[in-house]
Amino acid sequence: MRIADRLIKEEMEQGELFDLGPYTEPDREPPRITTTYSIITPESAEHGDVEEEGWEDEEGVEFIPDEQDTEDGVNVAELAIEWLIQHSVEQASSYPFSPGTWYTSSPYDDYRTGASTEYNFHLEGFTPEEEEEIYDFLKKHNHL
């Protein structure tokens, strides 16, 4: 264990520091959601293919509760749920839940060209419990 982690742990045990949870673990990177996209045009659909696909955001958005979130009892999974809902998630890659599930947005249609763009959101660095909490909430509240 690193010296800084040991000092934090001692302060937490003495009640001098709020719970930083898994973020004091040296091996855990902050959880993040990365985004890929796929564009289907009428022409590519005729061939059962996509016109274009790739990374929209390969680095991803990190989810780290700030001090206010911690005071309010908001956890990493709840932050991710809010973000996914804001990004119009409507289906999961697996049913029922399994680790590694990704989520797909509602298609964005370009009525000028007939192209349809979908975004896929990939959870990286979340614990299996956090991933399951995200899936269960989205399923229960009819987002999937």
Residues 71, 102 within the same domain:
yes
Domain count, the chain: 2
* pLDDT over 70 percentage in the chain: 81
* pLDDT over 90 percentage in the chain: 68
Whole-angstrom distance, CA of residue 52 vs CA of residue 80: 27
Residues 64, 96 within the same domain:
yes
Question: CB of 38 within 8 A of CB of 120?
Answer: yes
Residues 64, 105 within the same domain:
yes
Give which of 57, 42, 21 is closest to 109, Cα–Cα: 42
State the residue range of the domain holding 107.
31-140
Residue 34 has pLDDT above 90, yes or no: yes
Owner of token pair 């009640």? 15
CA 81 to chain centre: 7
How deeply is 138 buried, as exposed, middle or buried, from its count of CB atoms within 10 A (0-12, 13-18, 19+)? buried
Model pTM score: 0.78
